[in-house]
Structure 1
Amino acid sequence: MGYHETIGDEAAKMLAFVESGTTDSASAPMEVPATAYTDTDYFEREMETIFLRLPLLAALTAEMPDPGDFKAMELMGKPVLITRRTDGSVAAMLNVCTHRGMILQPEGHGNKKRFSCPYHAWTFANDGNLIGVSEPGKFGPVCKEERNLATLPCIEAGGVIWVSLTHGADMDIAAHLGGMLDDLNEYDLANWHYCGSRRIYGANWKIAYDGYLEGYHFAAAHPETIHPRSFSNIMHFTAFGPHMRVGYPQVTIKEKLEAQPRERWGHIENSGYDFVRTIFPNVSIFFAPEITQVAQLIPGPTPDRNTTNLMFIRRTPPRDAEDAAGIEGMMDWLADVVDREDYGVGLKVQQGLASGALKSVLFGKNERGNQYFHKYVDWFVAGDTDAEPPVL
């Protein structure tokens, strides 16, 4: 079955849920210990078994499309520098000068053939090789090959630059993403335009992730923003390993689909239905008609906190100054909605759980995606490679 046929079938299932007043459901409610959101030891095991081992989205291809482009950032507390070499390939390394440990490049984007340390002016090529020691005659002999920047496993696929924070880690991105890579490739994201980013701060990373996985909260938490567009508490879930495509029917789904021949239903995303795509462990993507939002959740530094980078792309660059201003306004509006209506709620949830009032949180049958997500977190943390992974 082709991609658009699959999407069309998922749209048909969403329509059936709307017409029957039902939703995609698990077999029973499920409890998750409240300490999963608050316990320091559990948080540290999550970091070790998930975030330091799995491929992580570090950048979008659209952020750095040209040779010489770079992005300097902090990822899981580590300073990371990603570059595009002159041959168009990408490299990732720790953003740390190998002389005395100075951060080599401040956070941000740019284009450089080489990087000079602001402390003692040691110079590195954009592939991480040390090419210059300032005043070498006075400094003494240096084996440059032993002082190249520390590299990280890195691969580009699906319009995304993926990095592992563990040296020598497996970077079989096709195996990791499974069918989600086909989904990303369908959009040809590598050729989109990068619009900009916004940064917001929230509660435990799983509280933030939970919000992307269900529309049960739309009516209560988003009465004037999301709920006028989308039904509350009607969802459809498709899993690709730990990753998910979550379908949300719009209130216009019946009229939008019935206005199209059945074979066209899989070609009209955002017209009658929307999807949120989650890429485990920390990415959410929403393809909206006006602009696409990619949320990158960075846990920590403590269990009760996360930093989320909202990155925005669209198919085409701004047409003119008015269009560019409109893009800025849309990014501001989307970031404000997530910050105020989702992360604001999440911080209150974190406060409630920290009080000790609950021994566990309860996910209903309707919150099937959340149940699946938490089962996968526990499966990774357990580290039992012989145990079968969860099934949706």
Structure 2
Amino acid sequence: MQSQNPDRRARLGDVAEIMLDYVEQKTTYQAKTTANVRTSTYTDPDQWKAEMELVFRRVPLMLAFTAEMPNPGDYKAMEAVGMPILVSRDKTGKVRAFLNVCSHRGAPVAELGHGNCARFTCKYHAWTFGQDGRLIGISESGTFGDVDKAGLALRELPCEERGGMIFGCLTPNAPMDLDKYFRGFLEDFEAVGFDKWTYLGSRVIEGANWKIAFDGYLEGYHFASLHPDTIQPRTPSNRTFYEGFGPSIRIGFPQHRIGEVLKNLPREEWGDQENNGYDFVRILFPNVSAFLAPEITQVAQLFPGPTPDKNRTVLHYLRRDPIRDEADREAVEASINFFRDVTYQEDYVIGMEIQKGLESGAHDHLTFGRNERGNQYFHEWLNWYLSDDHTLPEPKM
């Protein structure tokens, strides 16, 4: 781990002390009260459409990692909530995001996936665009007629690279202020040098309504019952600490061995022990859950749709060190598949069962306990954005 800001180190040490107490006292973070959420939140097509418009097309979304496209000329073409997106790093190293839509007849200018090129050429009529999105070539231009090339550039999206991640807003010309939005949270990723990590690959899984899936990342109350052989041996169930950074959350999970680790170290070193006695899951509102670990990191990127009862989740994998050799690569692939299978079989399968249960109309609302403050907080922020009245007070952790 890189050297830390002393204030951050002290804060993590304080959090470690709180989590140690949770394990010893068999308790957890407690909200002031329980909270109800309407079951229609997960089934109503009108709410789902509002989420697309008022949340996913307005807030900064994590689109890619620095490690996915580290070199000049690298690009990533992807789909996000039904929109074709192209993220490109130009020859100076600057990252830009565009709608992956040719200005001639609307075809994509890059195939889905990753690549490296000096220009993008539409396969329909071979119009060519630069890394900066400018229209630089029209095939057989002498027969086409006069056009304003400057006005036919790819439609650019707000885009900024921070903390080893590339963020964009899916609405052209929309304001995007990452410091205001994340409120210091990106320092966590900067502190571990996330921009220098190695991208290992991804897997795609599909599940229920995106909020059903996301709810599972926000609490540890289910570890003993749902993950008795995978997570519970490392992490005790229902021992969780929450911190809010605007709508995003840092969730602390103590390990069973937290007392053994911390009590053998000076108190001032407790803030340096992430993944050694305790772990964090970092939630980037509205759709990213990141568990950073030195062996292998899994970052879940959830996209709603294509219908209200479904989500598409891209599980990304990274680590600090590059692949050493073929044996290492095989071991990494095995680890990736293991984490993918656990996430799908133990979390997403029950999520699809929950979807059926909610659609049955058996209950009018779900109840989140005082020990499930992360879920409460997420839904409070979601409702704040859906109100479209940002003069209302923001939710507080």
**Which TM class, normalised by the smaller chain length?**
over 0.9
Distance 1:261 1:342 in 2: 38
SS of match in other structure, 2:244 = strand
Instruction: State percent identity of aligned pairs.
Output: 52
Give the drift of 1:70. 0.1
Give the drift of 1:282. 0.5
Matched with 2:157 is: 152
Map 1:343-358 → 2, pairs under 5 A: 343-358=348-363
TM-score, normalised via structure 2 length: 0.97
- Pick one of 96, 118, 121 that aligns with 1:116: 121
SS of match in other structure, 2:185 = helix
Map 1:191-202 → 2, pairs under 5 A: 191-202=196-207
Distance 1:350 1:259 in 2: 46
Matched with 1:101 is: 106
* Residue ranges of structure 1 left out of the alignment (5+ in a row): none
Map 1:231-310 → 2, pairs under 5 A: 231-310=236-315
Per-residue deviation, residues 22-62 of structure 1 (Å, max 9, x unmatched): 11011111110000000011111111111110010110011
Distance 1:147 1:212 in 2: 42
Distance 1:186 1:91 in 2: 24
Give the drift of 1:179. 2.0
Distance 2:271 2:309 in 1: 40
Give the drift of 1:142. 2.2
Distance 1:208 1:180 in 2: 23
Per-residue deviation, residues 170-200 of structure 1 (Å, max 9, x unmatched): 1111111112111121122111111111111
Distance 1:286 1:361 in 2: 27
The count of aligned residue pairs is 392
Distance 1:303 1:116 in 2: 34
Give the drift of 1:156. 0.7
* Residue ranges of structure 2 left out of the alignment (5+ in a row): 1-5
- 1:204 matched to 2:209? The reply is yes
- Pick one of 1, 7, 11 that aligns with 1:2: 7
Matched with 1:326 is: 331
- 1:184 matched to 2:189? The reply is yes
Partners of 2:79 and 2:85 within 8 A in 1 = yes
RMSD: 1.0
Distance 2:184 2:233 in 1: 31
Give the AA of the match of 2:271.
G
Give the AA of the match of 2:368.
F
Give the drift of 1:17. 0.8
Partners of 2:294 and 2:320 within 8 A in 1 = no
Distance 1:175 1:188 in 2: 22
- Pick one of 335, 340, 346 that aligns with 1:335: 340
Give the drift of 1:289. 3.0
Matched with 1:38 is: 43
Distance 1:173 1:39 in 2: 31
Give the AA of the match of 1:309.
V
Distance 1:76 1:152 in 2: 15
Map 1:208-219 → 2, pairs under 5 A: 208-219=213-224
- Pick one of 129, 134, 142 that aligns with 2:139: 134
Give the AA of the match of 1:346.
G
